[in-house]
Structure 1
Amino acid sequence: MPIVPFSYYPEIFSELLPQPDKLYYDGDLELIGRPSVTIIGSRQPSGYGLIVCKQLVEKLISHDIVIISGFALGIDVCAHRAAIDGGGKTIAVLGSGLDVCYPKAHNYLKRPIRETGLLLSEYDAGTRPRPEHFPKRNRLLAALADEVVVIECKQRSGSMITIDYAIDLGKPVHAIPGHITSELAAGPNRLIQEGANPIIDIDLFVDEFIRRNHAG
């Protein structure tokens, strides 16, 4: 697999620990640096979470905003699929080698992402996913995007690790508020309590994103 030239690395990569010494890619490198939002969340989202994810992605891609996520079950794959189905662009950051599909059920997504979007990985071909790969991948999810949105997650989850990286990097963090009795709402609701922006109107959020990032 080809390696991303350093000239494509966002400047903020210099603040990452550890810094990526190489990134393999398959797809359109020109998507790096375009206006983008990382969308993350639970691997077992509710129907509400999936609806919100799809509607949010549809609105973002209508303004040519790139969708970034981690190719995991649940919200991640919902975001990638909604982008592809709507004719938008998406970047998937993998926790395995690019030739290894994890989860295997997502193999059908790799080709359309490769053809219209971008696959990225720090790991050599043939590398199987390991638990420690995913927190490292999450720092890239935070660094690649202009802003980060979390849709449903528990208070202790991989999504919250990504949010911690985003906060450390100074990226705007947004959260979908949820029912206070729902475990899946615990993460976003806590983030809102601590200062994250609550998304209560998708159109308004996208309009404000465009204004902040000169997108659309």
Structure 2
Amino acid sequence: MAKQHKNLVSFGIWSGIALLVAVPVVLATTSPYLGYRSMAYIIGGFAGILALALFLLQPLLALGALPGVNKAHSRLCHRWVGASIVVAVLLHVGGLYLTSPADTVDALLLVSPTAFSIYGVIAMWGVVFTAVLVVCRRRLRLRYSTWQLVHNGLALVVVISTVIHAVMIQGAMEEISKWVLCLAVLATTTGALVLHWVVKPLSRRRRLDRKALSD
């Protein structure tokens, strides 16, 4: 009975994640905006949607919270998903550049008249800095706690900027599914950070206090 309940919970979690990721992508393919867009723009746009969807998985993988995935595999998947986000962001920016070089350069120089571009560029540089930090971690010789603090801080900046960027754009994504995905990304990211930096330390401190009282 307990095993059936566990399997049912696992199925529910994976089904929910699949729906949160698949529904916005499928609905985006039916958008009338795609009818007059170039292939470069379409590929770049869907790369951006993919990056947003992958942000849903990252905090869950970092915590080892996905059912059926042990901690070792979870950490490995976290790295691969991170690499996939970098590739998706590069495709997103590259597709937009091939479609409109001048507008993309203005956005990168933070002189674009569209506010959503600024948040997109902030998110992009956050992803770039995160990738550099991961690659150069050993050379920088940062303490693990310091590296983790910087890494998580960058992740929060990237996610918030990405969500603002996404909700401000009137593009291929259907509005309701886009908002649901964005709120889910914010919730999982914030929840993971609160759990890691607040709940776990408090729980650890309480265990130490109880142990000290019992000695």
TM bracket (short chain): under 0.3
Question: TM (normalized to structure 1)?
Answer: 0.28
The structure that is strand-richer by fraction is 1
Higher Rg: 2
The structure that is helix-richer by fraction is 2
Tell me which of the two structures has the higher relative contact order, counting C-alpha pairs closer than 8 angstroms and 6 or more residues apart. Answer: 2
Question: TM (normalized to structure 2)?
Answer: 0.28
